[in-house]
Chain A
Amino acid sequence: MKELKVSAINKGTVIDHIPAGRGLKVLEILNLSGDNTILIAMNVRSGKLGRKDIIKVEGKILNEEEVNKIALIAPSATVNIIENWEVMEKRKVEIPDEIIGIIECANPNCITHYEEVTPKFKVLSKKPLKLKCHYCERTMEEDIVLKHLL
């Protein structure tokens, strides 16, 4: 029988195949409230990734925006929706063509830092990640993007 590193959940979301070491970052950007029970496993052996992190969030189904946020820092992640201890839906996270409101522009002189406007980016490349600010046209690469998650 397969050994479970973290206990199963009745209802909620399991985020699997997070690159090892990025689990805490995923938790940080999801900004989950204190009401959710969260189980995290780090550096678990994985056939696909070598090592991976897993997060289980009890009682919460992630919405599309949250899933997209995960895609930016853990493009290999899979999101499993759990109901009655079973996987009801398996979603592969995918970086969308346009990213709205998840990250702020790295350009300190961009108008988005001065007006009440939602930052918007066009995805120029998904691998390696490269975004272009819709407003100031500055491009941001993955390391910069990760520092500017909202």
Chain B
Amino acid sequence: MRFQDVISINDFRKEDIDYVLRVAERLEEELKKEGTLKYAKGKVLATLFFEPSTRTRLSFESAMHRLGGAVIGFAEASSTSVKKGESLMDTIRTVENYADVIVIRHPREGAARLAAEVARVPVINAGDGANQHPTQTLLDLYTIKKEFGKIDGLDIALLGDLKYGRTVHSLAKALSYYNVRLYFVAPKGLEMPRHIVEEISNKVEIVETSDLEAVIPKVDVLYVTRIQKERFPDPAEYNKIKGSYKVDLKVLEKAKDTLKVMHPLPRVDEIAYEVDNTKYSAYFRQVWSGIPVRMALLGILLGVIK
């Protein structure tokens, strides 16, 4: 990979993505055979979570432990010097003395880019406000590749809140590197932003619709997102929209046998629990994908995996 940090999926070329996915695949195989690996023995990861995100933090920590490394860090800013008024730049300049790689989650957009500019050690963005969460996108791609053995040639639907969902924005951009057909399925008012559609429409075929039933029989992947209640100024508006999509067994009746349902989680009510134990559900395997993908990124940035 040609860069030292992982800040934005926009920094990735297709060959970078493919490289990370290949390394992740290799590490997953090694993990199965050997259990905990030793690539990062003697290395320390600092997880700086200025806002809580339990699952992302645990996933990074688990990945580092499975690489044989150690983890330090904090899970919320209130227990740190930030509360005393310390700047992000000073926190980074301090922590880089304790760790070989830093993972940062911060409520302000651009915080990870700034941290990477300040730090002498590699920085991985684990979410900066509404901007980027590149490792989520990479694990989404890894899941698709694992489920189908490929990404090219698939029909992929992104469903739900496509307007505000940072996950689907990054995923759509990354998928545009591949030979796929994308369906953007959203209720009125929550459509994919025009600038993203325009940016990728010359690379992939895009179908924009609000009709989930019409799309279901055609797609290989149904990527469901939560409609975020907190985005709606009027609760009545949210209540009107929240019921618009619910992926349940009835909806899936018309699906291809091989359809995989994905979701970045947490879900609220957009996927019925009855789907969990069907052949369609891939969302918990998607959670697992975070481990090999984050192991790959940590290993590559630490220079212990080629």
Q: Does A71 touch B at the CB level, under 8 Å?
A: no
Note all chain B residues with C-beta closer than 8 A to A110: 108-110
Most chain A beta-carbon neighbours within 10 Å: one of B87, B106, B131:
B131
A112 to B8, CA, bound (A): 17
Complex interface residues of chain B between 55 and 108 (CB less than 8 A to chain A): 87-89, 106-108
| Contact call B88/A111, Cβ cutoff below 8 A | yes
Q: Does A92 touch B at the CB level, under 8 Å?
A: no
| Contact call B109/A115, Cβ cutoff below 8 A | no
Q: Does A135 touch B at the CB level, under 8 Å?
A: yes
- When C-beta atoms are compared, the residue in chain A nearest to B87 turns out to be A115
Note all chain A residues with C-beta closer than 8 A to B107: 109
Looking at chain A's contact residues, the main secondary structure is loop
Interface residues on A, range: 10 to 19
| Contact call B110/A133, Cβ cutoff below 8 A | yes
Complex interface residues of chain A between 117 and 150 (CB less than 8 A to chain B): 117, 133-139
A107 to B109, CA, bound (A): 9
Q: Shortest CB–CB separation between residue B243 and chain A, in angstroms?
A: 31
Q: Does B207 touch A at the CB level, under 8 Å?
A: no
Of the residues A111, A137, A139, contact of B108 by C-beta under 8 Å: A111
A133 to B113, CA, bound (A): 11
Q: Does A116 touch B at the CB level, under 8 Å?
A: yes
| Contact call B109/A117, Cβ cutoff below 8 A | no
Note all chain B residues with C-beta closer than 8 A to A114: 88, 108
| Contact call A137/B109, Cβ cutoff below 8 A | yes
- When C-beta atoms are compared, the residue in chain A nearest to B195 turns out to be A139
Beyond A110-B109, A135-B109, whether A117 also contacts B10 by CB under 8 A is no
Q: Shortest CB–CB separation between residue A142 and chain B, in angstroms?
A: 15
Interface residues on chain B, number (Cβ under 8 Å): 19
- When C-beta atoms are compared, the residue in chain A nearest to B130 turns out to be A109
A68 to B114, CA, bound (A): 24
A111 to B113, CA, bound (A): 9
Q: Shortest CB–CB separation between residue B174 and chain A, in angstroms?
A: 15
Q: Does B129 touch A at the CB level, under 8 Å?
A: yes
Q: Shortest CB–CB separation between residue A56 and chain B, in angstroms?
A: 40
A94-107 interface bits toward B, Cβ cutoff 8 Å, 1 = contact, 0 = none: 00000000000101
| Contact call B114/A117, Cβ cutoff below 8 A | yes
- When C-beta atoms are compared, the residue in chain A nearest to B88 turns out to be A115
Q: Does B132 touch A at the CB level, under 8 Å?
A: yes
Note all chain B residues with C-beta closer than 8 A to A134: 110, 113
Q: Shortest CB–CB separation between residue A119 and chain B, in angstroms?
A: 10
Beyond A115-B114, A117-B114, whether A136 also contacts B10 by CB under 8 A is no
Q: Does B111 touch A at the CB level, under 8 Å?
A: yes
| Contact call A137/B131, Cβ cutoff below 8 A | yes
| Contact call A136/B129, Cβ cutoff below 8 A | yes
| Contact call A116/B87, Cβ cutoff below 8 A | yes
Q: Shortest CB–CB separation between residue A136 and chain B, in angstroms?
A: 4
A123 to B88, CA, bound (A): 27
- When C-beta atoms are compared, the residue in chain B nearest to A107 turns out to be B109
List 26 contacting pairs A-B, 8 Å CB cutoff, sorted by A.
A107-B109, A109-B107, A109-B129, A110-B110, A111-B106, A111-B111, A111-B114, A112-B110, A112-B114, A114-B108, A115-B87, A115-B89, A115-B114, A116-B89, A117-B89, A117-B114, A134-B110, A134-B113, A136-B109, A136-B128, A136-B129, A136-B131, A137-B8, A137-B109, A138-B109, A139-B195
Which residues of A are interface residues toward B (Cβ below 8 A)? 105, 107, 109-112, 114-117, 133-139
